[in-house]
Homo-oligomer: A and B are copies of this chain.
Amino acid sequence: MKLKRSGRMVDLTTYLLQHPHQLIPLSYFVERYQSAKSSISEDLAIIKENFEYQGIGSIMTVAGAAGGVKYIPSISKEEASAIIHEIIDMLEDPERLLPGGYLYLTDIIGNPNLVNQVGRLFSSVFSHQKIDAVMTVATKGIPLAYAVASQLNVPVVIVRSNSRVTEGSTVSINYVSGSTKRIQTMALARRSIQKGANVLIIDDFMKAGGTIRGMISLIKEFQAEVAGIGVLVEAQDGAERLVDDYVSLTRLASVNEKEQRIEVEEGNYFNQKETSEQ
């Protein structure tokens, strides 16, 4: 198709947004729009400027025969703060309080728009690291893991508490739940992680960190590496934290069942971000 600049802007923007973290040769666009390479380069410069101005990402240019452009999603500090505070406000709603001091998170996790924003937040933190897969444990971590993986353009692997016939052969480990101190099992299909892969762990809720410690053991069992850990909500717990290097969006400071009061604050997201940008 032969397009004018404004038409190319629409199509290029759409294409880049749908293909994050993917190197696209300039020749692809030259052919797609039947335009000169110089025009495409100008188009991309305008998109780059705009993406950076809006804080939605950057366009990386790789020179040479094997080169091209790559869209790296990110998020501005203002937008990140707005999303995190929206989540905090939702979490502090006393209606979420369930018997035993648990919180109802189902509607937050059930909102695809919010989940996609959470994906942008985490992928932004880990966008300059080599990530080969995102791992989570069924069930509530799954949507978050996909939202992150979708931005990073890598597969998702889902750890389960039981192995199913449809998984083929699996690797299982036992781990101790940090809060209940009970021994539990988690399993993962043998085909799902390659040796040496860099795996990013994403989960919805971390209390003492037993489940995440379990996933770390499982990653080691596959002779793979932990590239990072991200959680939506971390809870303060009397027990010692079993995991120390993680990124959290929010922190559950206190739950008062009697007074029906939930206090939530920012997690360590912004500290992390600054560190990774230095």
Contact = CB atoms under 8 A, between A and B. Distances in A.
Interface of A: 1, 3, 5-7, 9-11, 13-14, 17-18, 43, 46-47, 49-51, 53-54, 56, 98-100, 102-107, 110-113, 115-116, 138-140, 142-143, 146-147, 149-150, 153-158, 160, 165-168, 189, 191-192
Given A110-B155, A139-B158, A10 B102 contact: no
Contact of A102 (B14, B50, B100, B166): B166
> Would you call the interface of chain A mostly helix, strand, loop, or mixed?
helix
A165 to B, nearest CB: 6
Contacts of A50: 3, 7, 10-11
A115 B11 CA distance: 22
Contact of A13 (B10, B99, B143): B10
Nearest to A153: B113
A70 to B, nearest CB: 15
B104 A191 contact: yes
A89 to B, nearest CB: 18
Given A7-B46, A104-B191, A143-B156, 16 more contacts: A5-B6, A6-B46, A9-B9, A9-B13, A10-B50, A13-B14, A14-B54, A14-B56, A17-B17, A98-B168, A104-B168, A105-B166, A106-B189, A107-B191, A110-B155, A110-B156
